Amino acid sequence: MTVPFSDINTPPVSLPKTPKLLDQVRGKIRLKHYSIRTEQAYVDWIRRFILFHNKRHPTDMGASEVEAFLTHLAVKGKVAASTQNQARSALLFLYKEVLDQALPWMDDITLAKRPLRLPVVLTHAEVKAVLERLRGTHGLLARLLYGAGMRLMEGLRLRVKDLDFERRELLVREGKGAKDRITMLPVTLIDPLKNHLIRVKTLHGEDLRQGYGAVYLPDALERKYPNAHRDWGWQYVFPSRQLSVDPRSGVTRRHHADEKGVQRAMHQAVRDAGLTKPATPHTLRHSFATHLLMSGSDIRTVQELLGHKDVSTTMIYTHVLNRGGRGVVSPLDAI
Parallel/antiparallel/unpaired status of strands 252-253 and 163-164: unpaired
Q: Which sign, positive or negative, has the C-alpha torsion 156, 161, 166, 171?
A: negative
* Catalytic (active site) residue 204: no
* Catalytic (active site) residue 317: yes
* Catalytic (active site) residue 308: yes
Parallel/antiparallel/unpaired status of strands 181-184 and 244-245: unpaired
Kindly name the residue from 48, 72, 176, 277 that is annotated as catalytic: 176
Kindly name the residue from 47, 255, 267, 282 that is annotated as catalytic: 282
Nearest to 37 by CA among 117, 156, 143: 156
154 within 8 A of 141, measured Cβ to Cβ: no
Kindly name the residue from 138, 143, 285, 286 that is annotated as catalytic: 285
Kindly name the residue from 26, 151, 159, 204 that is annotated as catalytic: 151
Q: What angle do CA 34, 240, 225 make, to 5 degrees?
A: 55
* Catalytic (active site) residue 285: yes
Kindly name the residue from 26, 181, 291, 308 that is annotated as catalytic: 308
DSSP letter string, 246-262: -TTT--EE--BPPHHHH
Other CB atoms within 10 A of residue 172 CB: 23
The Cα 152–Cα 147 span in angstroms is: 12
Catalytic residue set: 151, 176, 282, 285, 308, 317
